[in-house]
Structure 1
């Protein structure tokens, strides 16, 4: 049974990682397209810029969550050693820090602050 789980988990991790990369790429392309069309319509550049940053931030956050999920699946199910757990911990810390700073950048407040 264990011989079956590792290749399947590696396959699912690769699929989720691909979806994470595609998510970031598609959000970036959509945000750039949307910003370009709005600029051609002569909309206010400050609002276009803010929406571009919001869209890019949302895409990166969602993509990072998927990439973290794929790393966890791969490490736990395929290559569970102290070294890979340490690398996973560092990667998750870095990606969590990036997610947190992107959230603060997009919303202007810490995620645990009230929406008031």
Structure 2
């Protein structure tokens, strides 16, 4: 049976994947320009940390588009068991990458929630 969605699905998948690649590339360029722009105002460690955070957040967004393109391609172009299995493996790898990037950027796992600062006890007035 010929899949009637194959040409359209393939075009859509390629377009979405191209957007993902463009997002990642622009993210690298933006992070580099931002780092150069702030070079004299920030110390080296802060500059490197900000640079890495910019790159990682854009990588996660770009990876989302790449995975979306693969999902569309698998559903419309290659709806076979091997296609679904390779998509499942890709999603597992993507999930591990996103969790690892989140841990590096925020210093905690996504399910740990926001860090709440401790309130110091105010001195009692007599």
Question: Does the pair score TM above 0.5?
Answer: yes
Number of residue equivalences: 113
In structure 1, distance between residues paired with 2:41 and 2:67: 39
Q: Deviations over 1:18-63 (max 9, x none)?
A: 0000000000111011112211x25211111111011001011001
Which protein has the larger Cα radius of gyration, Structure 1 or Structure 2? Answer: 2
Match of 2:42 in 1: 43
Q: What CA RMSD, in Å, does the superposition of the two structures yield over aligned residues? A: 1.1
Match of 1:65 in 2: 64
CA drift of 1:77 comes to 1.1
CA drift of 1:100 comes to 0.9
The runs of 5 or more residues in structure 2 that have no matched partner are: 117-126
SS of aligned partner of 1:112: helix
Match of 1:7 in 2: 7
1:84 aligns with 2:83: yes
Please list every run of at least 4 consecutive aligned residues from structure 1 whose deviation after the TM superposition is greater than 6 angstroms.
Answer: none
In structure 1, distance between residues paired with 2:25 and 2:42: 25
The runs of 5 or more residues in structure 1 that have no matched partner are: none
TM-score (norm 2): 0.85
Structure (1 or 2) with the greater helix fraction: 1
TM-score (norm 1): 0.92
